[in-house]
């Protein structure tokens, strides 16, 4: 986005330079993994896509996709790896919301504006088991300088499902103390799709009025943050609560029945089948910054309660409804306690070391008539050591090792697993225009509860799933390179990568039929050697700029390709993303206005796993207009965004709804307004 200020505004800005918050780069969280590809989420992207799911915002970055189910649920996929291979770290503690199935999304307020960076590639060394494919790091909020009261109000509406959303944030800084609270609420109706029928288990199901019945929902988010900053320490604490409630399309839940998809006359009601999630999270971080070292201790507790409700149905003809809560199909209650600590030592400007440890305890209770998962306990702990050495001004060398142990137990099984990881890397910067990163590492991942113990009909993924308690820790070797070129008007980034798994965990059709009628084949979790390889390309250039008239024309292009290969079955691995690209142009005709048009190109995906459907390609058109307007001493924004402008039918190969022929939402017009305020306290 172009920044161009009139002389009088620039002069006034110079008077406020004391308010700029400068962060020392050697202590930036991303610095510990300098030899890997690290993306900082641009504030312009956040503002343009405000109100989307976190994964929906991140998929605008090269190498990141969103695995979706419906209009309001998504989770990030990095370089073809998703599920529990991607960790989300929020305020120094891993966000726990994905243990029960890969169809469950993240529970994070979509209007939060905390700094975010993405590590592409293995990050098990610092973040542990679930970071085998990458990490999304949501950092603690930046503190405003001086005494002040600040905040913002957000309003958002979407046409595809008549979303009405509002969010408000207010904060205060008083010398050493600061606090901030945000509340968000959104409601949405059944969403529109550009088709009249879908196919599920060879049944042709009508989509009345081109709206998926019972896909309405609501979400409430609340978060409070308190901070104390002393001369050598900073204390952060907070609590957040997320409540989500959404319906499932009844034509893809249970045995197909055309009667289920007949409209009920109300596109806003959240009828059965539906899911309800309540996620409570509280945390505290303490950081001591001494002359040559930094010590950080973090602790958190999370309570995640998920319920899926449906009129009692069973693939077992002898089953009878339970006497209590007969419509409660699945009930999961997960308690998670986490503790982490790190010790960074700055021996000199050229040599730094970091040691750390983390531990986690989880206890899950399961209920409901489906009983997909048993009650279980999971305990994990790990320690690591990492060194950074500036061999010269141009060369940074990093190396580290980590060891982990984990225990998983139910009433029937008990499993103890251990593993290690390590990495070496180099970051070469010959001058300010060029940089080259190279990284080689070994990482691992402990099996999840679903992979070890699932046994039953999982309607979220439309199949009978069965775990294997004998699965071993997933292990992989990774290598990646990133080259960056940056000039005054041109930016180029190329990042090829390759990963070899000795025992990749995936799900495959067994060839054996479920004992339950109409349940199809049993899908088994199993392991096999597998290969992932590919590359990302990012290009941005300023075609024209008139500083006098504050006009600019920018062109950008992002492309990504992932090749996956199951060495045992000689096929692709499940949910392999197709090659894709985004090409766009942004024009600033006058200073406060930006106009953009983007073409999203998605290639056909014909390399699929056994029992997986190929997916045709698509060409989508998006557009936006952003107006930035002054309000007091701040800048507000009004954004009009059009997604899938041509109402194109698009099947997302990464979506669980792809299996039942349900396309992504149709044309969507999004209008959002952000009004900030800032008052200095004398």
Cα dihedral: 519, 525, 526, 530 (round 10):
110
Is 220 domain-assigned? Answer: yes
For residue 558 the two structure tokens come to 């992002």
Give the mean pLDDT of 668-673: 96
**Beta strands 74-78 and 64-68, pairing class:** antiparallel
CA distance 630 to 633: 7
pLDDT digits (tens, 9 = 90+) for 523-556: 899 999 999 999 999 999 988 877 555 688 999 9
Question: Which domain covers residue 141, as residue numbers?
Answer: 7-680
> What's the confidence (pLDDT) of residue 517?
60
CA distance 679 to 276: 39
Q: CA–CA distance from 148 to each of 152, 177, 635, 676 (Å)? A: 14, 11, 17, 13
What's 99's DSSP letter?
T
At residue 21, does pLDDT exceed 60? no
Give the mean pLDDT of 503-511: 88
Lowest average pLDDT, out of 160-164, 233-237, 299-303, 519-523, goes to 519-523
∠ CA(63), CA(66), CA(68), 5° rounding? 160
Q: CA–CA distance from 424 to each of 125, 354, 400, 516, 633 (Å)? A: 11, 14, 7, 50, 47
Is 619 domain-assigned? Answer: yes
* Confidence tier at 100 by pLDDT (50, 70, 90): low
Is 172 domain-assigned? Answer: yes
> What's the confidence (pLDDT) of residue 256?
66
> What's the confidence (pLDDT) of residue 6?
35
Lowest average pLDDT, out of 257-266, 288-297, 478-487, 637-646, goes to 257-266
**Beta strands 86-90 and 463-466, pairing class:** unpaired
Is 1 domain-assigned? Answer: no
Yes or no: say if 38 and 119 are a contact pair by the CB < 8 Å rule: yes
Torsions phi, psi of 84, nearest 5?
A: -90, 20
> What's the confidence (pLDDT) of residue 317?
64
347 or 671: which carries more pLDDT confidence?
A: 671
For residue 432 the two structure tokens come to 């300010």
CA distance 567 to 609: 12
CA distance 394 to 2: 30
pLDDT digits (tens, 9 = 90+) for 405-431: 999 999 888 989 888 889 999 999 999
Is 304 domain-assigned? Answer: yes
Is 2 domain-assigned? Answer: no
Model-level pTM?
0.89
- Give one word for 123, left, alpha or beta, with left for phi > 0 and alpha for psi -120 to 50: alpha
CA distance 497 to 438: 10
> What's the confidence (pLDDT) of residue 543?
84
- Residue that has been written with the tokens 């606090």 in this structure: 179
For residue 523 the two structure tokens come to 């899908």
* Confidence tier at 321 by pLDDT (50, 70, 90): confident
> What's the confidence (pLDDT) of residue 41?
81
For residue 279 the two structure tokens come to 């996620």
> What's the confidence (pLDDT) of residue 28?
37
pLDDT digits (tens, 9 = 90+) for 612-640: 899 999 999 999 999 999 998 889 999 99
pLDDT digits (tens, 9 = 90+) for 286-312: 999 988 999 999 999 999 999 989 888
For residue 189 the two structure tokens come to 């109706």
Structural domain tally of the chain?
1
What's the whole-number average pLDDT of the chain?
A: 86
For residue 264 the two structure tokens come to 């009920």
Mention every residue, 6+ apart, whose C-beta is less than 8 A from residue 441. 121, 122, 124, 125, 421, 422, 423, 424, 425, 477, 478, 479
- Residue that has been written with the tokens 């982490």 in this structure: 340
514 or 578: which carries more pLDDT confidence?
A: 578
> What's the confidence (pLDDT) of residue 597?
97
What is the residue-wise DSSP string for 116-176?
A: EEEEES--HHHH-GGGSSEEEEEPPPPPPSSSEEEEEEEEEEETTTTEEEEEEEEEEEETT
At residue 461, does pLDDT exceed 50? yes
CATH number at residue 222: 2.40.170.20
pLDDT digits (tens, 9 = 90+) for 153-162: 999 999 999 9
Is 134 domain-assigned? Answer: yes
Residue 240: CB atoms within 10 A of its CB come to 23
At residue 132, does pLDDT exceed 80? yes
CA distance 37 to 88: 16
321 or 427: which carries more pLDDT confidence?
A: 427
> What's the confidence (pLDDT) of residue 102?
56
For residue 462 the two structure tokens come to 């439309």
Give the mean pLDDT of 589-593: 83
Yes or no: say if 367 and 331 are a contact pair by the CB < 8 Å rule: yes
CA distance 54 to 88: 10
Give the mean pLDDT of 342-360: 93
**Side-chain half-sphere CA neighbours of 50 within 13 A:** 26
* Confidence tier at 13 by pLDDT (50, 70, 90): very low
**What proportion of the chain, given as a percentage, has pLDDT over 70?**
90
* Confidence tier at 659 by pLDDT (50, 70, 90): confident
């Amino acid at each position: 986005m172009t920044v161009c200020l009139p002389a009088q505004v620039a002069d006034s800005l110079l008077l406020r330079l004391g308010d700029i918050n400068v962060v020392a780069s050697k202590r930036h969280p991303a610095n510990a993994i300098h030899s890997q590809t690290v993306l900082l989420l641009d504030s312009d992207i956040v503002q343009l896509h405000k109100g989307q799911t976190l994964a929906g915002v991140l998929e605008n970055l090269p190498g990141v996709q969103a695995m979706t189910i419906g209009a309001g649920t998504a989770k990030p996929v990095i370089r073809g790896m998703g599920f529990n291979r991607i960790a989300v770290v929020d305020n120094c503690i891993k966000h726990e919301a994905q243990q029960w199935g890969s169809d469950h999304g993240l529970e994070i307020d979509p209007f939060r504006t905390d700094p975010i960076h993405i590590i592409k590639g293995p990050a098990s060394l610092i973040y542990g088991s679930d970071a085998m494919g990458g990490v999304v790091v949501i950092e603690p909020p930046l503190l405003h300088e001086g005494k002040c009261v600040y905040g913002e109000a957000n309003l958002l509406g979407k046409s595809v499902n008549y979303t009405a959303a509002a969010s408000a944030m207010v904060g205060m800084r008083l010398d050493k103390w600061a606090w901030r609270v945000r509340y968000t609420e959104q409601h949405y109706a059944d969403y529109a799709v550009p088709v009249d029928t879908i196919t599920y288990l060879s049944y042709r199901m009508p989509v009345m009025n081109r709206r998926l019945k019972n896909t309405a929902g609501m979400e409430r988010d609340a978060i409070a943050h308190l901070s104390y900053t002393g001369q050598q320490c900073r204390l952060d604490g907070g609590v957040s609560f997320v409540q989500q409630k959404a319906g499932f399309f009844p034509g893809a839940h249970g045995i197909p029945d055309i009667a289920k998809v007949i409209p009920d006359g109300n596109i806003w009601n959240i009828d059965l089948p539906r899911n309800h999630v309540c996620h409570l999270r509280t945390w505290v971080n303490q950081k001591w910054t001494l002359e040559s070292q930094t010590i950080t201790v973090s602790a958190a507790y999370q309570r995640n309660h998920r319920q899926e409700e449906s009129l009692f149905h069973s693939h077992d003809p002898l089953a009878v409804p339970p006497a209590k809560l007969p419509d409660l199909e699945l009930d999961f209650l997960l308690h998670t306690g986490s503790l982490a600590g790190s010790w960074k030592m700055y021996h000199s400007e050229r040599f730094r070391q970091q040691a750390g440890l983390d531990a986690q305890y989880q206890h899950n209770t399961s209920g409901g008539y489906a009983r997909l998962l048993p009650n279980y306990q999971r305990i994990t702990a790990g320690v690591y050591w990492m060194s950074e050495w500036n061999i010269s001004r141009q060369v940074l060398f990093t190396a580290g090792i980590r060891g982990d142990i984990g225990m998983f137990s139910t009433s029937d099984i008990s499993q103890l697993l251990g593993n290690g990881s390590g990495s070496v890397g180099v970051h070469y910067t010959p001058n300010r225009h060029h940089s080259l990163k190279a990284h080689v590492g070994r990482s691992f991942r402990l099996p999840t509860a679903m992979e070890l113990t699932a046994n039953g009909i999982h309607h979220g993924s439309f199949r009978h799933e069965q775990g294997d308690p004998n699965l071993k820790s997933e292990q992989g070797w990774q290598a990646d390179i990133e080259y960056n070129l940056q000039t005054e008007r041109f930016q180029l980034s190329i990042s090829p990568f390759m990963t070899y798994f000795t025992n990749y965990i995936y799900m495959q059709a067994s060839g054996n039929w479920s004992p339950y009628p109409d349940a199809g084949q049993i899908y088994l979790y199993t392991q096999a050697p597998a290969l992932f390889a590919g590359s990302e390309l990012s290009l941005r250039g300023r075609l024209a700029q008139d500083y006098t008239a504050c006009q600019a024309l920018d062109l950008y292009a992002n492309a990504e390709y992932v090749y996956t290969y199951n060495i045992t079955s000689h096929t692709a691995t499940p949910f392999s993303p197709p090659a894709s690209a985004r090409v766009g142009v942004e024009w600033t005709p006058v200073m406060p206005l930006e106009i953009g048009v983007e073409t999203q190109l998605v290639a056909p995906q014909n390399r699929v796993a056994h029992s997986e459907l190929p997916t045709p390609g698509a060409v989508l058109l998006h557009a936006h207009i952003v107006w930035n307007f002054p309000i007091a001493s701040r800048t507000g924004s009004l954004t009009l965004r059009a997604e899938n402008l041509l109402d194109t039918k698009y099947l997302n190969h990464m979506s669980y709804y792809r299996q039942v022929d349900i396309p992504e939402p149709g044309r969507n017009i999004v209008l959002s307004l952000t009004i900030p305020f800032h008052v200095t306290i004398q």
